[in-house]
Amino acid sequence: MRIVTNEALIKRNARIGQVASLVGLVILIGGVIINFRDPSQVGLSMGALLFGFALSQLGIYFGNRYARPPRADVVLSQSLKGLDKRYTIYHYTAPVSHLLIGPGGFWVILPRHQSGNISFEKGRWQQKGGFRLAYMKLFAQEGLGRPDLELGADLETIKRYLKKEFLDMEFPEPYPVLVFLNPDVQLGNLADAPVPALPVKKLKDHVKKQAKEKQNRLSDAQLKALQTAIEGFVEDETVEELEGEEE
């Protein structure tokens, strides 16, 4: 399997996360100091606290995606080790953040770092974990949100890209998949989830199973055209190869 990664983007966004977190913390501390020194400046204090908190959340957003070890791109690549050399995973080099393509089709992957007990019940995503989870959401971890909507937006993005880039070539539907990277996550009832959701350790088996569905397979011409177009999408990228056996 080949791995194509936009290292320049990762480094830049990791730096943004670090700066945003540091500046946010300084502003939060400043807001507290203002409140203690001059309680009459409640408006200024609250403004500083809100702005500092917003910057801290921005830092968490970028930090979780581009700096927090192990990084999502590294974990995803390692989990797919063993796929044959006709498969390529693109990290931040395609129109969507994580895209796997191969003769079995192509997959839009949405990674999540969340911990706790996650399920989909009564039409809603549920994340439970008590006080520790509440603390993590506030200071170190994003909420789960609506990953199905994010995946839906990514699917539309890749479809628009294909339609614009390849006017004379039809492609099968991409596969969406929500992948949880945290080894401590517990996945509950997901039978009714709007998108496939699974722990990262099951990703390769999931891909192999779907690759056997002939209706979404890519021809050699389609595969070559996709690789050529995507690998010209970003100039500053690194390419690695992990050995695997052909299927």
Contact criterion met (CB below 8 Å) for 23 and 55: yes
In the sheet that holds 88-91, the strands lie side by side as 197-199, 175-180, 105-112, 98-102, 88-91, 2-5, 238-241
Does the pLDDT at position 246 exceed 50? Answer: no
The count of other CB atoms within 10 Å of the CB of residue 173 is: 11
What is the tens place of the pLDDT at every residue in 15-47?
999 999 999 999 999 999 998 888 888 899 999
Contact criterion met (CB below 8 Å) for 197 and 215: no
Q: What rounded mean pLDDT belongs to the chain?
A: 87
Does the pLDDT at position 51 exceed 60? Answer: yes
Does the pLDDT at position 137 exceed 60? Answer: no
What is the tens place of the pLDDT at every residue in 184-208?
889 999 999 999 999 999 999 999 9
Give the pLDDT score at 77.
Answer: 95
Amino acid at 26: V
Cβ burial, residue 97 (10 Å; 0-12/13-18/19+): buried
